[in-house]
Amino acid sequence: MTSNAQSSRHSQLSSEELVARGKAAYLPVYSPREMILDHGKGARLWDLEGREYIDLGSGIAVNALGHQEEDLVQAAIEQTRKLWHTSNMYYTEPVIRLAAELVEASFADRVFFSNSGAEANEAAIKLARKYASTKKTSGKREIITFNGSFHGRTLATVTATAQAKHQKGFDPLPGGFTYCPYNDFNAFEKIISEETCAVMIEPIQGESGITPAEPGFLKHLQTLCHKYDAVLIFDEIQSGMGRTGRLFAYEWEEGVKPDIVTLAKALGGGLPMGAMLTTEAVGKAFSVGDHGSTFGGNPVVAAVARVALQKIRSPQIMANVKRQGDQLRKRLQELNLDMFKEIRGKGLMIGAELQDQWKDQAYEITEKCRHHGVLVLQAGNNVLRFLPPLNITDEELNTGMDRVIETLSDLHSGQ
């Protein structure tokens, strides 16, 4: 594919002019890079000027099968020529089939569709509270989350997010949330009580630095949740959908079964979709009118998500995630520049924590990577985050890592 294969349809505005318009019109809640991404194929992207980039971020784990995956494109085209939207007052076939396929692929009996991960977590919070109300009329309302977590930007989910920097200025925040240190077995045992209605946790914390749960920790939570009749919620919005080499990251811990799992990001294959999966026992606490989402379960997105789910679940993709994850980690470990304190994560969800002398420079490093033709994410101020497409090829990964290593070598030598 040539760098300007899709450029003929563009307006005559330059990248600088478009960026200026964006700065003037956007609410300034983002800090986008000053470039205009134009088109992509596989793990490659091109900007408006035709410069090529290897995408090792997948739109923050959204484009799990890369850009313009042919079967996803075809599913979208076919459904857009049939039906775009109806509302949840009516059934449509793609949504029914996707719900049934998610149930078949998981622990769950019931599915609720939303537009985003934050909405999926809102649904989980509401369902947990409603379920508690069927057990005890008052008092059992506490939801425990974990320091360093990230669960969304709505008022409820930003409160569930146990990071003060995301909550500053938005008080008064909703009540009923208690925070526990992540991976602290003893602290959790002291905090959970008869007042706890739910525990919400990311099996691998994403936004704060790609930190996995310690072996046995999820099982520990499950044991105590059963003891206190609390709902166990796994936020798999970033770690789910094959990202770690299994459909859900919690599946790496034997004998663990949640009551609720929330999904988004990769679920829609690049289109916006979230989902809350739950058991029959917990799900029946909701009745008609208790919750809803106008665009949740859009038939076009569902048609694409069905194909994405089928492909992601395939043995070929799961094997590729493990193999390429091992290769990515190996390339970073072989760098021998003493730039990383720790490399952690699983599958193709890798975080490289910078040494103290590079602390707080993650943004600057990812920006230099961009100028070397590779897109890398950060997690916090001192972790480089790698979330490449699950189907990334050997050539794409090696080219991308060559560019990362060239960037880091230049930085280390002071260039």
What are the residue numbers of the active site? Answer: 150, 235, 265
Judge contact between 169 and 182, C-beta under 8 A. no
Alpha carbon distance 165, 169 (integer Å): 9
Q: Residue 312 to residues 107, 171, 296, 307, 317: CA-CA distances in angstroms?
A: 17, 40, 22, 9, 6
Judge contact between 152 and 308, C-beta under 8 A. no
Q: Which amino acid is at 41?
A: K
How many other CB atoms are found less than 10 A from the CB of residue 181? Answer: 14
Alpha carbon distance 333, 326 (integer Å): 10
- Bridge partners (DSSP) of residue 39 are 46
Alpha carbon distance 392, 327 (integer Å): 12
Least Cα distance to 275 among 160, 151, 123 occurs for 123
For tokens 């099996």, name the residue: 203
Structure tokens at 351: 């975080």
CA atoms in the 13 A half-sphere facing the CB of 311 = 22
Alpha carbon distance 110, 141 (integer Å): 23
